[in-house]
Amino acid sequence: MGQITTLLAPPQVSAWDVVDILIVALLIYEGLKLIRGTRAMQMAIGCLFVLLLLYMSQAFPLRTMGWLIQNVLAYAGFAAIVLFQSDIRRALSHLGRAGFFRYLGRSEHAADTVEEVVTAASMLAKAKVGALIVFEREIGLRNYVESGIPLDAAVSYDLLITIFQPSTPLHDGAVILSEERIAAAACFLPISVGVPVDRVLGTRHRAAIGLTEECDALAVVVSEERGEISLARQGMIERSLSPEDLRQRLQTHVLNRMPNTPVARPVLEGKG
């Protein structure tokens, strides 16, 4: 009678037990997300089937099958490392890009990103090659990223210059930078129609103004006709920037993560 009472008694669950269960559930969920749609998913199903056979061999007198499975499982760890090496590498890379770890190295990576963009913009301006580079900030640009060609590549000036060459299929559109990486190229952006714009400004400038009207992104524009560098923010565009001017503004708004304070400049601002 005492044993039955003990079995029917509600378990004592502490707050740490709840935290423990939530952590394990989160790990299982993230693991299933990582292997979903990959070869590892089919292999995981196969492993579950082998474990089911092991349980059956212990529940029923299936000695030969139990002996075989137990000997095979002794080498399962080594086999998993060999078979799942690409998936393990991808999972560790995904963990390294988690929010906490990204925050630790964000300032250094952001500074490198700014330098690469400034170098690319200055070289494109000298060659009079048009370009549109967008920095994603607090408001996500996923809808615009999905409209282009996904890249997920490291930011480098030579890659940016290559993308915007007129002979390449990706030059017509915007490059979107997200989390210090090139998320996509050839992205379509909304064209500004509500703000009066100088007639000399082309589609890239209007797209930069249109996007920054809707969100807190920054847009660097290089004019192919005049070879000038412009920066759009909050629906305003600042024209004829030198590479040093561009560097200072990007350092202010990207590295320091300044909020979008009202811009006290007219819509069009030029030097000289």
**Which of the four pLDDT bands, split at 50, 70 and 90, describes residue 31?**
confident
Q: Indicate the average pLDDT of the chain.
A: 80
Question: Would you state the pLDDT for residue 100?
Answer: 47
Enumerate domains of the chain plus CATH numbers. 10-96 (no CATH), 106-269 (3.40.1700.10)
**Which of the four pLDDT bands, split at 50, 70 and 90, describes residue 87?**
low
Question: Would you state the pLDDT for residue 225?
Answer: 87
Question: Would you state the pLDDT for residue 266?
Answer: 38
Cα 13 from Cα 158, distance rounded (Å) = 58
Q: Which residues of 239-248 are buried (b: 16+ CB within 10 A; e: fewer)?
A: bebeeeebbe
Q: Which residue has the higher pLDDT, 76 or 156?
A: 156
pLDDT, tens digit (0-9, with 9 covering 90-100), for 98-153: 554 444 445 567 888 999 999 999 999 999 999 999 999 888 888 899 899 999 89
Cα 144 from Cα 34, distance rounded (Å) = 24
Q: Which residues of 106-116 are buried (b: 16+ CB within 10 A; e: fewer)?
A: beeebeebbeb
Q: Which residue has the higher pLDDT, 84 or 94?
A: 84
Q: Are 231 and 237 in contact (CB under 8 A)?
A: yes
Question: Would you state the pLDDT for residue 49?
Answer: 82
Q: How many angstroms from the chain centroid is the CA of residue 138?
A: 13
Q: Which residue has the higher pLDDT, 191 or 10?
A: 191
Q: Are 160 and 117 in contact (CB under 8 A)?
A: yes
* Joined tokens for residue 123: 């070289």
Cα 195 from Cα 120, distance rounded (Å) = 28
Which residue(s) pair with 222 in the sheet?
A: 131, 229
The 3-state secondary structure of the chain reads CHHHHHHHCCCCCCHHHHHHHHHHHHHHHHHHHHHCCCHHHHHHHHHHHHHHHHHHHHHCCCHHHHHHHHHHHCCHHHHHHHHCHHHHHHHHHHHHCCHHHHHHHHHHHHHHHHHHHHHHHHHHHHHCCCEEEEECCCCCCHHHHHCCEEEEEECCHHHHHHHCCCCCCCCCCEEEEECCEEEEEEECCCCCCCCCCCCCCCHHHHHHHHHHHHCCCEEEEECCCCCCEEEEECCEEEEEECHHHHHHHHHHHHHCCCCCCCCCCCCEECCC
* Joined tokens for residue 1: 């009678």
**Which of the four pLDDT bands, split at 50, 70 and 90, describes residue 41?**
low
**Which of the four pLDDT bands, split at 50, 70 and 90, describes residue 83?**
low
